[in-house]
């Protein structure tokens, strides 16, 4: 197997083509690196070679590092990681120096990278070591360094090279936020050097190689008198940059993402020393991050497991069930969003509401999203017309004829939903699957209105549909495998991430998020300082504190859910203390963000101003306050114990879905890799110890579930017991 092949033409240009066999996208492996190194040695040593072109045999350049490489390196411990990274630095540095005399900087061979399409991670770090980067004018291509998104940072010189090429400030969005650009924006941002018509890509790169002079080969940081753009740390401008960047990173990450801080340290410390020492510093920080369990967990959940679920890890083995024609009933907030994302993915959509006006409003929602896309130059007018043409808005159920999937998103009322079910079934053929987007009503109950309960399923989207990537698929008691496969294929078509769970009150995501909100509100009722509650949540990596979250989702919705839950549970209902606070807020008209008044105060434009001062009157703050860790444990355990119970009850059947669903569905502390990864990180015995203390202080809702206690007794981990096949990167 060869990932890299080399041919030399009559002009003396050696073309090294990256084309990993049997993969649609190039990824770098250790063997691949060795081949690249050998090809480079041969080209540099061959007197007939005048210049070297590195390109790809595929439509894209490369997707990044094979994550198994990281797993392999990690298995050998810190020294193995450091040595592995330094070996990569040596190859890339050899490319950069290209055989030139280190003193005179003369006599090297020009090396160019030609990127036909996407170039991510090492797929950009390799070009950054070359002397010039050409990219085909391919608007679909993505260029950038997304490592930070999975809890690591560019560790093959990308951090050091980009910071020195652009300056820390300009490099920040690419390094710290993982910003990806199309080729034209990448050129404008200074990531690459030239954008060329796709069919002229190689010719233009060769032309440059043949004309390149010694001076074209010397990187600014290898030339005498190099100064970092924007100023190195002890330069007045650099001082401002680094102090600001440090504060910004801490503000954004709340200190819980080790990669962001390590990256900044690598840039800062690297800027004070010569280039080769900077690479060594980068390698040390990279090793530090890889040794942190957070990076293992993030890569496993956000990359490996997410991808496995998207590829159908839990799909019944049936033929392709891709949706040809979709019906959406209810053109409100959710229905309109579902229609939009589906039409955007090329699916024909019939969008039905009770009145033509409401149906048209739903279609207009898609139009306004497309217009926003046009304003941001992400959508062309032709694309807008194409997508809108796929959505027909009507009140006529007869238009559903030929639909193979219908998603219902009408009011959250079992009676209304039952009527709609009957009408849909009368208008569609026996092969049509009917899905409900209910957020709270059990699927098995709603399926009673269906004459084909095996074809009835829950497909639960999150709001806003166009932004939220998780879709929760819920199997009712009688739901059959075809319905599950249809739902999964639909989610794949619209490029979202599915989890499949069994039916139970609130399914999985809402089941975990409601106790989080309730715990926050309960603390306010107890007299815990509301700011402590909110900040404790953020400091542990939750994107929103529980009080802000309930303001965003609306307090009247919380009241509605509380009333329905109380009615269903009777005396066993545990959240009376929460309701006292929640109902009083609703009675005072403080319904949350939409009412410009909730746990927070808002200005007339709806901008959040801070916690509502009236809270202190309604719920006086106690003289003695809990410590930060205790508040954080209460907020985290409220969620993770529910996740464990969902696994125990058989609602969750795969912990990978629990972890991925938690992060994508409600933003559960992404640094942790999700609830099960977090429990593995702290260890089940320690988790039970914390539960015991919390239960003693705050009540039986924190009692360790039997499963957790049993696992703690044997010091078991969730991933080794429930997902031993998953390779932790």
The binding site for ligand NAD (CB under 6 A) comprises 329-335, 352-354, 358, 409-412, 416, 419-420, 437-439, 460-461, 463
Q: Report helix angle 77-97 to 275-290, nearest 10.
A: 150
The residue (of 124 and 350) whose beta carbon lies closer to ligand NAD is: 350
- Determine the number of helices (DSSP H) and then strands (DSSP E) in the chain: 31, 21
Going by C-alpha positions, the residue among 219, 239, 140, 152 that lies closest to residue 186 is 140
Q: How far is the CB of 503 from ligand NAD (least distance, A)?
A: 15
Regarding beta strands 4-8 and 13-18, do their DSSP bridges make them parallel or antiparallel, or are they unpaired? antiparallel
Distance CA 726, CA 729 (A): 9
The residue (of 520 and 665) whose beta carbon lies closer to ligand NAD is: 665
Q: How far is the CB of 445 from ligand NAD (least distance, A)?
A: 13
CB 331 within 8 A of CB 374: no
The residue (of 297 and 329) whose beta carbon lies closer to ligand NAD is: 329
3 state DSSP class of 267: helix
Distance CA 54, CA 70 (A): 24
Length of the chain measured in residues: 729
Distance CA 142, CA 185 (A): 10
CB 232 within 8 A of CB 240: no
CA atoms within 13 A on the CB side of 364: 7
Closest CB to ligand NAD: residue number: 332
The residue (of 192 and 470) whose beta carbon lies closer to ligand NAD is: 470
Alpha helices for 527-554 (secondary structure H): 530-539, 546-553
Distances in Å between the Cα of 355 and the Cα atoms of 241, 351, 366, 400 are: 56, 11, 18, 16
The residue (of 315 and 460) whose beta carbon lies closer to ligand NAD is: 460
Q: How far is the CB of 397 from ligand NAD (least distance, A)?
A: 9
Q: How far is the CB of 135 from ligand NAD (least distance, A)?
A: 40
Going by C-alpha positions, the residue among 666, 675, 723 that lies closest to residue 460 is 666
Exposure b/e, 538-561, CB count within 10 A at least 16 = b: eebbbebbbbbbbbebbbbbbbeb
Alpha helices for 554-627 (secondary structure H): 555-569, 576-587, 614-618
Q: How far is the CB of 601 from ligand NAD (least distance, A)?
A: 23
The residue (of 105 and 354) whose beta carbon lies closer to ligand NAD is: 354
Specify whether 460 is catalytic: yes
Q: How far is the CB of 474 from ligand NAD (least distance, A)?
A: 11
The residue (of 115 and 341) whose beta carbon lies closer to ligand NAD is: 341
Q: How far is the CB of 465 from ligand NAD (least distance, A)?
A: 8
Distance CA 541, CA 208 (A): 48
Please identify which of the residues 131, 288, 365, 460 carries the catalytic annotation.
Answer: 460
The residue (of 162 and 420) whose beta carbon lies closer to ligand NAD is: 420
Quick one: DSSP state of residue 346? T
Q: How far is the CB of 450 from ligand NAD (least distance, A)?
A: 16
Q: How far is the CB of 543 from ligand NAD (least distance, A)?
A: 16
Distances in Å between the Cα of 594 and the Cα atoms of 473, 554, 597 are: 29, 7, 8
Spatial CB neighbours of 692, under 8 Å, sequence gap ≥ 6: 704
Q: How far is the CB of 460 from ligand NAD (least distance, A)?
A: 6
The residue (of 456 and 612) whose beta carbon lies closer to ligand NAD is: 456
Distance CA 717, CA 708 (A): 10
Distance CA 16, CA 18 (A): 7
CB 453 within 8 A of CB 488: no
Q: How far is the CB of 166 from ligand NAD (least distance, A)?
A: 40
Distance CA 180, CA 519 (A): 38
The residue (of 133 and 582) whose beta carbon lies closer to ligand NAD is: 582
Distance CA 634, CA 654 (A): 25
DSSP 58-74: SSSSB-EE-HHHHHHHH
Spatial CB neighbours of 67, under 8 Å, sequence gap ≥ 6: 299, 303, 304, 729
Distance CA 359, CA 94 (A): 62
Catalytically active residues, by annotation: 460
């Amino acid at each position: 197997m060869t990932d890299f092949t080399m041919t030399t033409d009559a002009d003396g240009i050696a073309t090294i083509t990256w084309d990993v066999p049997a993969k649609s996208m190039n990824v770098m492996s250790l063997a691949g690196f060795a081949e690249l190194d050998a090809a480079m040695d041969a080209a540099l040593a061959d007197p007939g070679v005048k210049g070297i072109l590195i390109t790809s045999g595929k439509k894209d350049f490369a997707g990044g590092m094979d994550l198994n490489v990281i797993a392999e390196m990690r298995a050998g411990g810190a020294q193995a990681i450091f040595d592995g990274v330094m070996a990569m630095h040596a190859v890339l540095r050899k490319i950069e120096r290209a055989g030139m005399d280190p003193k005179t900087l003369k006599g090297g061979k020009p090396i160019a990278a030609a990127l036909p399409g996407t170039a991510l991670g090492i797929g950009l770090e390799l070009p950054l070591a070359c002397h010039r980067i050409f990219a085909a004018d391919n608007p679909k291509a993505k260029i950038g360094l997304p490592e930070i998104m999975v809890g690591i940072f560019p560790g093959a010189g990308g951090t050091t090279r980009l910071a020195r090429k652009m300056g820390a400030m300009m490099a920040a969005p690419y390094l710290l936020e993982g910003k990806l650009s199309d080729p034209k924006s990448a050129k404008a941002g200074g990531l690459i050097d030239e954008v060329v018509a796709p069919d002229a890509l190689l010719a233009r790169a060769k032309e440059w190689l043949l004309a390149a002079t010694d001076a074209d080969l010397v990187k600014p940081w290898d030339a005498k008198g190099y100064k970092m753009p924007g100023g190195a740390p002890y330069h007045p401008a650099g001082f401002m940059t680094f102090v600001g960047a440090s504060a910004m990173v801490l503000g954004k990450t709340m200190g819980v993402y080790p990669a962001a801080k390590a990256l900044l340290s690598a840039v800062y410390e690297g800027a004070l020393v010569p280039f080769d020492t900077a690479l060594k510093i980068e390698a040390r920080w990279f090793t530090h991050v890889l040794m942190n369990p957070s990076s293992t967990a993030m890569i496993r959940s956000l990359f490996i497991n997410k991808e496995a679920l998207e590829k159908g890890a839990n799909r019944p083995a049936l033929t392709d069930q891709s949706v040809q024609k979709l019906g959406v009933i209810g053109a409100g907030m959710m229905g309109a969003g579902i229609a939009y994302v589906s039409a955007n993915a090329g699916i024909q959509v019939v969008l039905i509401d009770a009145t033509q006006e409401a149906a048209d409003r739903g279609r207009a929602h898609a139009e306004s999203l497309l217009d926003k896309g046009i304003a941001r130059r992400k959508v062309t007018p032709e694309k807008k017309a194409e997508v809108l043409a796929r959505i027909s808005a009507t009140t006529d159920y007869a238009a559903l004829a030929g639909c193979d999937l219908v998603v219902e998103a009408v009011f959250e009322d079992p009676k209304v939903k039952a009527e709609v079910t009957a009408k849909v079934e009368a208008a569609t053929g026996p092969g049509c699957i009917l899905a409900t987007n209910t957020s709270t009503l059990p699927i098995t109950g709603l399926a009673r209105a269906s004459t084909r309960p095996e074809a009835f399923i829950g497909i639960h989207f999150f709001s806003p549909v166009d932004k939220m990537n998780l879709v929760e698929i819920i199997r009712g008691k009688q739901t059959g495998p075809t319905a599950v496969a249809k739902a999964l294929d639909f989610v794949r078509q619209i490029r979202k991430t599915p989890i499949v769970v069994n039916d139970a009150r609130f399914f999985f995501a809402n089941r975990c998020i409601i106790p989080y909100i309730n715990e926050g509100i309960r603390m306010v009722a107890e007299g815990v300082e509301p700011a402590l509650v909110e900040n404790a949540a953020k400091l542990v990596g939750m994107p929103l504190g529980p009080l802000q979250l309930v303001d965003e989702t609306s307090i009247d919705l919380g009241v509605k859910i509380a009333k329905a839950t109380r009615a269903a549970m009777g005396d066993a209902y545990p959240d009376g203390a929460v309701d006292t606070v929640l109902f009083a807020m609703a009675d005072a008209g403080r319904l949350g963000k939409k009412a410009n008044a909730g746990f927070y105060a808002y200005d007339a434009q709806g901008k959040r101003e801070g916690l509502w001062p009236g809270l202190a009157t309604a719920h006086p703050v106690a003289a003695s306050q809990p410590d930060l860790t205790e508040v954080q444990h209460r907020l985290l355990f409220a969620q993770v114990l529910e996740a464990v119970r969902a696994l125990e009850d058989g609602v969750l059947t795969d912990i990978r879905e629990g972890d991925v669903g938690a992060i994508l569905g409600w933003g559960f502390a992404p640094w942790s890799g999700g609830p099960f990864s977090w429990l593995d990180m702290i260890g089940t015995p320690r988790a039970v110890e914390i539960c015991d203390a919390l239960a003693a202080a705050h009540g039986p809702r924190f009692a360790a579930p039997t499963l957790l206690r049993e696992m703690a007794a044997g010091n078991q981990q969730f991933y080794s017991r429930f997902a031993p096949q998953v390779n932790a990167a």
